[in-house]
Amino acid sequence: MAESDDTSAWVAVVTGASRGAGKGIAVALGQVGATVYVTGRSQQAADSPYGGTIAETADLITRAGGTGIPVVVDHADDAATAELFARVAHDHGRLDILVNNAAKVPPVLPGGFWERPLEAADLIAVGLRSHYVASYHAAPLLIANGRGLLVNTGHYGAVSYHHGPAYGAQKAGADKMAADMAKELRPHNVAAVSIWMGGLDTERARAHLASVRPEARPSTRRESPEFTGRVIAALYGVPDLMTYSGRTLIGAEIGAKLGVTDIDGAAPVSLRSTLGGPPEPHASLR
């Protein structure tokens, strides 16, 4: 599909969409009429202390105007990921958008990395390696479409300290992975980017803030999880999509450029001045 103006014809996959950022992104894509496959492990609300299931997300997508399709996938299982994309290939034979968001985020604990459970490194398996595996299976479908967008969800922690070495490595790795994939996908008119999100108003964040003394809670406004989905939809709709390929983008900045606002009409603020910005891609990546 060479044209992108018929959003109701878009086919997307959003990984890790039971709750949080993935859920918001998936629902926002549903709001423009897309068919969205949502993956995750949660089938019952009790599966996570933060609630949420892939079926609930799929229902919200459908109620928003799209078509939500829940698929149980443990992204630590390569075979399950392959089956997901085999299903998309069977159903549609192509793919417009892949959003790599699934990540096994460990609890934030005090102490040095050597003092915390070694399971913290699981974020590199489900959150970096799993992005690669999903992209590996999605790439032929994006290429078959004639136009596509691959997105890794990112954060300022790629260049500033946030939650420790495993988190930083995952975020920095996801940025570089998108840049290198963009280099190889460019001849096929498929773009790859990483999009940094700010502090999000998610179920996990609300639970954390509820545990903090009122006077110690930050007063800064948080982005809705849907905002990044709105940015992705707007980005895929621009004629010059390939000019963004290979770049790490700050969601608030690209949102402002494309005229995207949050669900309350506000414009999220870039944190570049306090948390840093993405490095410029090397000439070899062009």
CA 228 remoteness from chain centre: 8
Choose, from 37, 136, 156, 167, the residue flagged as catalytic.
Answer: 167
| Terminal Cα-to-Cα distance of the chain (whole angstroms) | 24
If DSSP states are collapsed to H, E and C, what string results for the chain? CCCCCCHHHCEEEECCCCCHHHHHHHHHHHHCCCEEEEEECCCCHHHCCCCCCHHHHHHHHHHHCCEEEEEECCCCCHHHHHHHHHHHHHHCCCCCEEEECCCCCCCCCCCCCCCCCHHHHHHHHHHHHHHHHHHHHHHHHHHHHCCEEEEEEEEHHHCCCCCCHHHHHHHHHHHHHHHHHHHHHHHHCEEEEEEEECCECCHHHHHHHHCCCHHHCCCCCCECHHHHHHHHHHHHHCCCHHHHCCCEEEHHHHHHHHCCCCCCCCCCCCCHHHHCCCCCCCHHHC
* CA 109-112-113 angle, 5° bins: 85
Task: Tell me if residue 132 is catalytic.
Answer: no
Residue 240: partners with Cβ closer than 8 Å, 6 or more residues away: none
Closest alpha carbon to 228 in 11, 5, 29, 10? 29
Any idea which residues carry the catalytic annotation? Answer: 167
